[in-house]
Amino acid sequence: MENKKPSTAAQQSSVEQSKINKEQIIKERAIEVNQTNPQVNNPNAPVIKFDKMEHDYGTIDQNAESTCEFKFTNTGKEPLILTNVRAS
């Protein structure tokens, strides 16, 4: 049995579908947070603002070390408290 690699068009379609799925998950999580977060209706609530939302490392060598910083600011009026922070 011959092992065929997917065509470039199929790969692009798969990547695009993955992006769409990721965006949908982000939107659904935002809705959940807004429904359960009592600060949503607080005009003084802290607001986190990121300089970027994602980072593409491109192609990197196996076992290569790489870092990326996501800078953020609190644009709200009350203190921003970060809990349960984790990388994905």
Partner residues linked to 73 by β-bridges: 49
Q: Which two tokens stand for residue 23?
A: 């965006």
| Across 38-55, average pLDDT | 84
Coil, helix or strand at residue 47:
coil
35: pLDDT strictly greater than 70: no
DSSP 33: H
The arithmetic mean of pLDDT across residues 7-19, rounded, is: 81
Higher per-residue confidence, 9 vs 25: 25
Per-residue pLDDT averaged across 19-40, rounded? 74
Select from 71, 65, 40, 39 the least CA-distant residue to 53: 71
- Identify the residue whose tokens are 């607080």: 42
Q: How many helices (H) and strands (E) does the chain have?
A: 1, 2
Q: What is the pTM of this model?
A: 0.46
The pLDDT of residue 11 is above 80: no
Mean pLDDT of the chain: 82
Q: Is the pLDDT of residue 2 over 60?
A: no
Sign of CA dihedral 50, 51, 56, 57: negative
